[in-house]
Structure 1
Amino acid sequence: MNWIRLNSSEDLERIKEESRENLVMIFKHSTRCSISDMALNRLERSWSDQEMVNIKPYYLDLIQNRNVSNEVAEVFNVRHESPQVLIIKDGEAVYNDSHMGINYSTIKDFAKN
């Protein structure tokens, strides 16, 4: 899985623009949380670049980038959770889920549409 790092407000602005052409997924990960590790591992094991050509995966280490994580919650009007996945389309969050609700099949369904 080829993650693109989300480390700054500038990256967040780029994501909003990119989402006008392609879906963007943001995975918010806490490196201190075993549930977050499990959700990340499940997603990475299931991920297929061939199935997900229409979605760009971004990875946010929220421990190192807490301010960016807070900005994600504010910009996309979602409650902060960890781990958390968001699907961004046309600059808006069209889907978000957290913890064990993070599901590859659901994300794949967004990529098909």
Structure 2
Amino acid sequence: LDPNFADKIRHIRDPKTRMAVVWSHCKTKMVCEPDDPKDEGAEQDNDDVKRGHGGCGHIQPQIRKEGLKLFVQYKKAKDDDEEVKSLQPDKRLMTPSEVYTVFKKMSDSDLH
């Protein structure tokens, strides 16, 4: 987490403006960054340890809103072969139950 980013959004009262700042910061993040692996033999300094957020390493989709529907779209990697490209749909509807499941997995500490 970027502490400067947290300070920026903490002081924005207007929800639409705050969401615009969050969106502009997050729109370039295309991978859920996993935590750095810990070396068991290495001595750790508490000051230098980067605190992770428990990321999974999964490629993040672009989410587009059309009316009241949310569509998920993954960017195709250049090194994918043609068979894999044809299997993945370009755009897929994200159902309300999928959205609810994602929100249910978020803890209160993720939101603050």
Is TM more than 0.5 here? Answer: no
Which structure has the greater CA radius of gyration? 2
Relative to its length, the structure with more strand (as a share) is 1
- TM-score between both structures, scaled by the size of structure 1: 0.24
TM-score of the superposed pair, with normalisation by structure 2: 0.24
